[in-house]
Structures are given as C-alpha cells and as structure tokens.
Structure 1
Amino acid sequence: MAFIETSPLTRKLSAFVALSQVELDVLKQLHRRRRSFVAGRDMVYQGEARQAAYILSAGWVCSYKLQPDGTRQIVDFQVPGDFLGVRSVLLRTSDHSFEPIGDIEAAEVLAEDLLEAFARTPRLATAILWAVSRDEAMVVEHLVGIGRRGADARMAHFLLELASRLTLVGLGTREGYDCPLTQYHLADALGLSAVHVNRVLRQLRERGLATFRDGRVTLHDYPGLVELAGFDPAYLDHGGPLLR
C-alpha cells in the first residue's frame, strides 16, 4: 500500500479504478527509472526524436510550442501524477517542449516498457489512456478559453481547473493550493500580457473570489468563481463504467 501513498499517478488512477496487485506491480515497474531535472532546462525538446515518456512524481512542468520568431505559447502545465510525452512515443517525434518549473523528479518510461505494460494489464492501459485523453480535453478547454472567455473568466476557470487536478493527487483542496507559477507563466498560457494578468488577479482579490500571493492560491469563494468562469467539470470526467 505504500506505493499508492507515494505515487501521485497511482493515487490518480486509483480514484477511477480499483487497481489489482498485478496492476500496482506494473505501475511500480514503470517508476523504476527515476530521474531529476533542474529548473529552466528542457527535459524534452520540440522536434526531438526520443522513444521515452515521463511520469511526473514531484514538481511542476510547462509544455510549450516555440514559434519561428523565438516566442512561445504555453500549451499546458503538468503536475505530479501526469504523463509527459506519451504522444511523442507513438508519433516518434515530440511536437512540443517540456520545461521544469523548479527542480522536479520524474520516472522515465521507455516505449518498450509502456507497450509491455499495456500488453500485460489491458485494464491499466485503459486507465492510462483515460488519463492521457483527459489531458487532451484540458488543452481543448484552454483553446476555448483563449478564444471565447473574457480575461477574468479565463483566469477563474484556470484556477478552478488546477484546484481539481491537484485535489485528485492530494496536493490541493477547494480552499486552495501551492502554485509555483509566475505571472509570466500565466500570461503565456492564457494569452494575456503580464500587466493584464496582474490586473485580473487584483480584480479577483478585490471581489473576494481568489488570491494568488507568495506561491499560494487561495479560493475564497468557490461557488462565485464557478459562476464567473461558467466552470463545468464534465471535461475532467472522474471515470465511468469502462474503467470499473
């Protein structure tokens, strides 16, 4: 049982399917190649041909696309329990980069190890496919946010989504969570300027909805944030009959 308590991915998947001992053993094997990465140095580069994925164990990562003029668009943030680079294993080339935000720990999963795990435990493969599909659904939701939501609703939606993701792995609650992101990270991810991010966060604070200060997000009025964002957590589907 110690592995369930120490592995965010196992905790995440256990919320949706009762893992057997065989499945727990396979997950433990997937964590055996543990690596550390320092802040600011990409662990995977856009265009890199690498037959490996990663399971994030500790710390945060941002995934981003680099533009020809040197600017970047942050696509998403990864938190403990997330897979990184599964698509690059299947497509053979990474279509975006991963940069640690602070020092992180991750397990390297080679393509052959992942395929062997899927072959041995089809139900676990389904659970992992669910987790990866959920990540893709979040990217779609972010695209909708940038295209259709106002800045305040966009920020509120983002903070609520992080609360849900972190609560799932025991790193947050509806009241708040630690968050290492800077206003520049938020600006790149939400399609806003850093000045605009500062203004929106101040407005949320003054309205008594949320505060982001000193690496901590505090959600003062969760229902109010949900109403402002039009937040429907259905895209963060918490499992279904397929996984039971």
Structure 2
Amino acid sequence: MVLSEDELSILKNLGKAGRRIPAGRDLVYQGQSDKVAYILNSGWAFSYKLLQDGQRQILDFEVPGDFLGLRSILLNMSDHGIEAVTDIEVTELHIDELLEIFSQSPRLMLAVLWAASRDDAMIVEHLIDVGRRSATERMAHYLMELGLRLELVGMADRSGFACPLTQYLLADAVGLSAVHVNRVLRELRENGLLTFRDGCVRFDDYVELSRFAQFDETYLDHSGPRFRQSFLAGLGNLREAG
C-alpha cells in the first residue's frame, strides 16, 4: 500500500503547526491533560515515568517520524512525560484535528495504528531485554533497534548512526547503572561488535552483532516496506516544512 498524493498533501499541511522545544525541557509533563499528540519532526526526545520517590525510568527514546503521546488523546491525562534530548521540533495534533484527518483518509488512521502497533512491539522486546537478555545482549539489542528505527527515516545505515545519548540516559533506559553501561560498551567494543564513541554508534560487525543479540528486525515492520517507506516519506515533508 502506497499513500496517494492527497494523503501525502495532508501530511505536508500538518507541518504548519510546528513547535520548537530546547534540549532539556519537557514537551509533555506526567499528569498533563491537554489531549494532544505530536509527531517528532527533528531531534531526539525520551519518554519517561516518575515514581513517587523521584526516581525516573526512561521508557523509550523518540526519533524523527515517531508519534508522541498517542495514549494521552484517549486518557484523561498523560501517564508519562516527554523530555527533549536535543533541540526538537514537533507537529502538534489535537484530538479534533486527528479526527478530521481520519475522516479525510482512513488509511492515515491505519498509519497511526501502525505506529502504535510498532510501539507495542518494542515494549515487548524491552520487557524481554530486562527479563531474559544479559546486560551485554540487552545493550546490543537496544542499539540495533535504535539503528533500524533511524534507518527507516534515512538517518542511519548498517554501519551505524549519530547518537546524542549519554551513558546515563542509556542506563536509565535499559535498567543498568552508568558504570555497568560503560563496562558493557567496552566489552562490545573489545569483542569487535560495536563501538560507541564521540556521539557515534558504529556497528563493527553487524551480522555477528545481530546473531549475538538475537535481533529479529521483523517486529519493527508490521505493514510492509512499500507502505512504511511511503508513510515515512510523507513525514519527511514535515521536516522540510520546518
């Protein structure tokens, strides 16, 4: 399935409602009740949950092309926060705008369902990371997942990707201490699998790294490559509009 010119035009027109958020600032606060979703046009962000004692758990990192805050459209308030890792630009979508888009194009509604379905599939893999993969396998799998998500929007390839994340942020995401993250990354580098240095993740041996992490990329591709590429190309118009 490939999006029509009219559907791509609808996506392009969304870019007129852009917002810019500087690095370190929250786009969404946990408990916020605006019933707004976003499309991330540029930059990196992360979604997180705060516990009552102030501890933070990063739920996922968000990259260009991702939908943010979909659950808050239907819930009375957002059950998590979203913070900018770098300066970001987003397209803001209120519930009435989403309903109008869906009435114009049911296939764009399918695109949003695809995004939500992919997010659910990633949550399943992250649970497996914590419950069954070793710390080194967990890190390898997580970075390969990020690489493939970025590859889908033309920001990575099988050699690696630019990565603004600190070891502290990675530690919060994968359930390790920052010291343990450092040891795990050193082990992956010394084994000739992956190098994370100077803001760049380099896949030194993609095939062996994939085997080691038991990485099956099919969970990130639910709707087939033609639909996926067409939809993400449409989202690319949002970045150009910004």
TM-score (norm 2): 0.91
Q: Given the alignment of the two structures, is residue 158 of structure 1 paired with residue 160 of structure 2, yes or no?
A: no
Give distance in 2, aligned partners of 1:238 and 1:178.
25
Q: CA RMSD in A?
A: 1.6
Partner Cα separation in structure 1 for residue 25 and residue 43 of structure 2: 14
Q: CA deviation at 1:25?
A: 1.5
8 Å CA contact retained: 1:54, 1:107: yes
- 2:160/2:203 contact within 8 Å kept: yes
TM superposition outliers: structure 1 runs of 4+ over 4 Å? none
Q: Percent identity?
A: 60
Please point out which of 195, 199, 203 is paired with 1:219: 203
1:230 matched to which residue of 2?
Answer: 214
**Contact preservation (8 Å) 2:118, 2:222:** no
Q: Give runs of aligned pairs for residues 12-161 of structure 1, distance below 5 A.
A: 17-161=1-145
User: Residue type of the partner of 2:143?
Assistant: L
- Tell me the CA shift for residue 238 of structure 1: 4.6
How many Å separate the matches in 2 of 1:110 and 1:31?
14
Q: Is the 8 A contact 2:114 2:222 kept in 1?
A: no
| Residue matched to 2:234 | none
Aligned residues: 228
Equivalents in 2 of 1:222, 1:38: separation in Å? 34
2:170 maps to 1:186: yes
CA 1:31–1:132 in structure 2 vs 1: closer, same or farther (change >3 Å)?
farther
- Residues 120-166 of structure 1: CA distance to partner in whole angstroms, max 9, x if unpaired? 10012112210121012112211110111100100110111011100
Distance 1:81 1:104 in 2: 12
Task: Output one character per residue of 1:168-196: Cα deviation in whole Å (capped at 9) or x when no partner.
Answer: 00000010000000000110000000000
- Does structure 2 retain, via aligned residues, the 8 Å contact 1:30–1:107? yes
- Partners of 1:91 and 1:26 in 2: CA distance: 26
Q: Matched residues in 2 for 1:124 and 1:84: separation?
A: 16
Rounded to whole Å, the distance in 1 between the matches of 2:15 and 2:34 is: 18
2:187 maps to what in 1? 203
